[in-house]
Structure 1
Amino acid sequence: MPETMSAPAPHYGFHRNCTCMHPRKKMGMMHMTFFWGHNAEVLIDRWPGTDPKMYAVSLAAVFAVAALVELFSCCKLTVRAGSNRNFAAGILRTVLYTLRCGMSYLLMLAVMSFNGGVFLAAVGGHALGHLAFGSRVSKKPDGPGSAKERTDLPPTGC
C-alpha cells in the first residue's frame, strides 16, 4: 500500500510560533481593529509597554506632534527683496516642509497601532492645532476684503 503525502497547511497571517519578522522573536497577532487600553506599542518596539504613565506620555507626544503638523501647515514666512534672503527663505521652507511630512508619516504610523486613545490624541492634536494656528478665530483681520490666507508651504493632502 503506497504512502500518501499530505500537503502542508496554508499559512495565513501570523501564528503563535511564527518567526517571520525577527529570527529570535516570536510574533503575536497584530491588532486589525481599534482596541482600547494602555497595553499598546506606538512606533517603537515595547513602548509604551504596560505602564499607564508611559501610555499617557505617548498620547501626549502624539497630541503634540499633531499640533506641530498644524503649526507647520499654517506658518507664514515673510521674505524681503534680495536674492540671498529668497534663497535662505527657500531653504527654510524646504526644511519646514520636510519636518511636516516626516511628522505626518510618524502620526500615520502611530494611528496604525489601532489604539483608540492614540487615534483620539492625533485627532485632538490636529483639531487644537488648527484652532490655535489655522482658523480665523486665532488670526487678526488684515483689513476689509483681504484674502491673505495663503501659507508658504504646500497644502497637506487631508
Structure 2
Amino acid sequence: MNTMPMPGDRPLMDSGNMMDMHMSFYWGKSVLILFQNWPNGSLGMYILALLFVFVLATAVEILSVSPIIKQGRNSPLIGGLSHAFVYGIRMGLAYMVMLSVMSYNLGIFVVAVVGHSFGSFVVKFRAISAQNRGADDGVTPKV
C-alpha cells in the first residue's frame, strides 16, 4: 500500500500560512481582508479596514446613480463609454466589498451593511432635495 503523499496533495487548512478560514460569523480583530497580512491583528489596522469597507460600500451606492448625459452635447459613443466606465468601477468596488464580507467577520459585515445604507441615504437625500428645489422654482427636474 502506497502511503506517500502526492506532490499536489496538501491539507485544506494550513495554519502556518494564515489559510484558516472561518465558516461562520465571528467577532474579533484577527481577520484577513482583501490583502495578505492586512489588517494583521492590529486594532488600529482593523479600525482602518472597517473604515475602508465602509467607504467602499458607500461609494458603490453613490456610483449607482448614472451621470446625466445631455442630449445633443455628447455623442452616443461618449455617453455609452462614460456609463460603462462608471459601471466597471462600481462593480469592481462591489466585488471588493463582497470579498471583504466573505471573511465572515461580523464587524466587517455590519460596516458593509451600514455603508450601503448610508450611501443609499445620500443618493435619496440628494434626489429628494433636487426635487424639492425644482418644486420651489416651478420646474420639476428629472431624477
Question: Shorter-chain TM-score category?
Answer: 0.7 to 0.9
Counterpart in 2 of 1:105?
Answer: 95
**Contact 1:59–1:121 at 8 Å: present in 2 too?**
yes
Aligned residues: 135
Alignment of 1:94-133 (within 5 A): 94-133=84-123
The percentage of counterpart residues that share the same residue type is 31
Counterpart in 1 of 2:46?
Answer: 55
Q: Which protein is richer in helix relative to its size?
A: 2
Whether 1:40 and 2:31 are equivalent positions in the alignment is yes
| One-letter code aligned to 2:119 | G
Alignment of 1:133-144 (within 5 A): 133-135=123-125, 138-141=128-131, 142-143=134-135
Counterpart in 1 of 2:72?
Answer: 81
Q: TM-score, normalised by structure 1?
A: 0.71
Find the residue that maps to 1:125 and give its secondary structure.
helix
How big is the alpha-carbon RMSD for the aligned residues of Structure 1 and Structure 2? 3.1
Q: TM-score, normalised by structure 2?
A: 0.78
Pairwise CA distance, 1:16: 4.8
Counterpart in 2 of 1:70?
Answer: 61
Where does structure 2 lack aligned partners over 5 or more consecutive residues?
none
